[in-house]
Each structure stands twice: as C-alpha cells, then as structure tokens.
Copies of this chain bind each other. A is one copy, B any other.
Amino acid sequence: MSITLKDIAKRAKVNVSTVSKALNDSPEISTETIIRVKKIAQALNYTPNLAARALVGKGTKTLGLIIPEVSSNYFVKILNSVEDELKRIEYSLIIGITDFNVKEEIRYLDLFAGRSVDGILVAGSYYKEVAKKVKELTKSYDIPIIFIQSFVHFDQFDYIMIDDAHGINKAVSYLKENGHTHIGFIGDKTADMVRQPMFKAAMEQNELAYDPAMVMRSNSRFEQAGYAGMKELLKSGNVPTAIVAQYDNVAIGAMKAAYEQGLSIPEDISFIGYDNIRESEFLECALTTISPPAQDMARIGVKLIIGKINDKKIVATQQVKLLPELIIRESVNNRL
C-alpha cells in the first residue's frame, strides 16, 4: 500500500539495500546514486516504515511520557513543552496518564518498554515501586528513563526537578516579611507526599509555629479541594491570616470559600499559590504565587534523554535542580 524501499529500488534499477544505504548517506554509495535515489524517494513521497526499522533495532523515534494528570496547568505545561521539543527533532510522543496511581505507572512503564520506545520520561512520580521497576527496565531493555519532577529518592537515577522546598520556603518567608505569623496550608491528598511536609519545614526554618489544625488536606482535587479545605478551616474558627495553597487551583477554590463567607482578599485573609497557572493573573484579586520553571524543566529533560539515546555510552547519572521564583501580585496583605 505505502511506498517501500523496494518500489524505489525498482525505479532506480538498483538493489533495495543500495537504496537503504543511499538514503542513509552511506559513504559506500556514490554521490550520483545517492542523489538519484533520493530524488526518486522524494518523488514517490517515501516514508520509512518505522515498524521495520524498530525491528532491526534502529529505534522508533518515539518517546513515552508518563504523567499523573493533565488537568492542572502545571503538568499540562510539562506535556506541552515536551511535545514542542520533540516535534523539533521529529520524535513522536506517546503518553500515559496515571492519576497518581502506582499500578498505572508501572503498567505504562512495561507497556512503553514493550512498544520499544527510545526513552521514557516519568513525570511526578512518588513511589519506590516505580523506582524498582525502572531499575529493572533499564537493565533488561536498556531504555533510558529520566524522572521529571518526581520524588523517587535514589541518587542512581537521572532526574530533573524543581526545588519545591525552596519555593515553599520563599512563600512562607514572604508571608513572614509581610507580618503574617498564623499561616495555614490547604491541599489535597497528594500533598502528604511532598508540599505539605515542605510547608512544615519552611515554617520551622522561618521560626514560625506550625499548627496542624491549620493544615487541611481534602480528599477531592483541584479547586474543590481548596474550597472544602477552606470551608472547614473557617468553620473551625481557628482561622490563619494567610494560606499557602498546595497549588494555584487549590488557592482558587479556597478563595471562593472565603468570598462566600464575606471575607475580603487580601484585607481579611491572604493567599499564596504555587504553579503560576495562566488564570491566576486574571483573578479578581490576582494571585501571588510561586512560579516553577516547568517549561525549562521539560526542555532540559528532553535534552537529557535524547542525549542518552543518541549516545548510549553516557552512563553517568545526571541530576538537575531548578529554582522556582516568587511572583508577587495582589493576594497577600502587608500587616505591618
């Protein structure tokens, strides 16, 4: 159905293997033949059959991306940047959305390996089972795997991530500078693993009292989690002057709950988010937030893995950390 090397060979009156070599610019083939073959290939609109190529071990020009979700602007940014970077180098992207589920992450690792992708990017993973699987796969299949913004704690892996502890610390410091001492935290169930402990650490580093009663972790996700957490906090009567949200979407939900209670932002209560999603800038009260360089991270991740693919000799693990920055807008009040 589609054009193969054979078709070109027939027209060029040379052997299939000559065509293959010609198209791959082999020095064994004369320049005239190369030109002639390429012209014919072009004319016939030839595209190599990737399945065949994969079969002889030449790779599939495909990368797998395992990602927990694509509903928050944060992971979407990663997805977008990865895709963007890949289209430049003519790689295809195959994705697996896991919803933070370990089993799914592992399933996708196996699946992608079986599909002989050239490399796998694992974004936002937290599980040691995944780490184990990755170790297994790199050994048996020799597939380069790189962690992006994951918390798989092993120095033996390649990873690139954002120093979130630093980011949260910046948030808390900024609140302290503005006279806030009673600071709460709202997140969803995934917060336990990362940002919530970081918040606790940040409070301690800033010599502020960490009050577990002001830390809310909802079972729902996104805005809903923020809304529910804030409602509960308001009901408890033990209301902080400022809230650090696990991420912007949570902050938006929490702010809504505050509005509904008749509170003014930031006069009555301050909010600081994390992620710097597109919408945050355009809220009635624009959200002050921590902005992680998700795009840079994805870009560097792709570069790292492509490097490993192209040069299998690179065995040294590569580990990169990027610093997020504080974006000051309107949602934090100065109490001094």
Interfacial residues, chain A to chain B (CB-CB below 8 A): 1-2, 47-52, 54-55, 60, 62, 70-71, 73, 76, 79-80, 83-84, 87, 92-97, 104, 110-111, 113-116, 140-142, 222-223, 226-227, 249, 252-253, 255-256, 259, 278-279, 281-286
For A117, the closest partner residue in chain B by CB is B92
In contact, B70 and A70 (Cβ under 8 angstroms): yes
Residue contact A80 to B71, C-beta cutoff 8 Å: yes
Interfacial chain B residues near A284, Cβ < 8 Å: 255-256, 259, 283-285
CB distance from A143 to the nearest CB of B (A): 10
**B97 in contact with A94 (CB, 8 Å):** no
Q: Please tell me if the beta carbons of B71 and A116 are within 8 angstroms of each other in the complex.
A: no
Contact A50 to B114, CB < 8 A, known contacts A70-B76, A76-B76: yes
Q: CB < 8 Å: which of B51, B79, B278 contacts A55?
A: B51
Contacts of A222 in B (CB 8 A): 278
Main secondary structure on A side of the interface with B:
helix
Chain B residues lying within 8 Å of A54, measured Cβ to Cβ, are: 51
Q: In whole Å, how far is A223's beta carbon from the nearest beta carbon of chain B? A: 4
A-B contact pairs, 22 of them (CB 8 A): A1-B142, A2-B141, A47-B113, A49-B114, A50-B51, A55-B55, A71-B278, A83-B95, A83-B96, A87-B96, A87-B104, A92-B94, A94-B95, A95-B95, A222-B278, A253-B282, A255-B282, A256-B282, A256-B283, A256-B284, A283-B283, A284-B285
